[in-house]
């Protein structure tokens, strides 16, 4: 795929997340895709597409979609890097805000791999209360 096509695919992922249907974005992943969260903390690791679907069931606490404000989108070869800020309201009234760096790898028109580097201190405190 071209660099522009790769960028459009990644933007389609974010559009799906903005819709409030977190599973819609997973449909853009290859069946054997790997999602990686770096670090040494409870939410870090490598996850299959099926594991991500299960995780998103637990994250289905948002009141509406996620709002992403991209600071930078850079594409080269089969990779698209996105530095973004996410904001979302949870059903319990809390507001989630985090800075995230995503690196998407595209193959055959599908997202093959994702590295999601979040502010782990903030995520851990918000989601796990630690």
Among 37, 42, 45, 61, which residue's Cα sits nearest to residue 128? Answer: 42
Q: If DSSP codes are grouped into helix, strand and coil, which group holds residue 116?
A: strand
Dihedral of alpha carbons 85, 88, 92, 94, sign: positive
Q: Which domains does the chain have, with CATH numbers?
A: 3-123 (3.10.450.50)
Assessment of whether the complete model's pTM goes beyond 0.85? yes
The gap from C-alpha 96 to its chain's centroid, in whole angstroms, comes to: 14
Length of the chain: 130
Tens digit of pLDDT per residue, the chain (130 long)? Answer: 899 999 999 999 999 989 877 788 899 999 999 999 999 888 899 999 999 988 877 666 777 788 999 999 999 999 999 999 999 888 889 898 999 999 999 999 999 999 999 988 878 877 777 6
Please tell me the predicted confidence (pLDDT) of residue 129: 75
């Amino acid at each position: 795929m071209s660099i522009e096509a790769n960028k459009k695919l990644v933007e389609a992922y974010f559009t799906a997340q903005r819709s409030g249907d977190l599973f819609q974005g997973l449909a853009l992943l290859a069946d054997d895709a790997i999602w990686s969260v770096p670090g040494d903390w409870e939410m870090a690791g490598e996850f299959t597409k099926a594991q991500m679907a299960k995780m998103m069931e637990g994250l289905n606490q948002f009141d509406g979609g996620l709002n992403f404000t991209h600071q930078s989108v850079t594409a080269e070869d089969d990779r698209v890097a996105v530095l973004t800020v996410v904001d979302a309201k949870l059903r319990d009234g809390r507001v989630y805000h985090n800075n995230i760096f995503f690196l998407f790898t595209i193959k055959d028109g599908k997202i093959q791999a994702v590295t999601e580097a979040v502010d782990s201190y903030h995520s851990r405190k918000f989601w796990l209360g630690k």
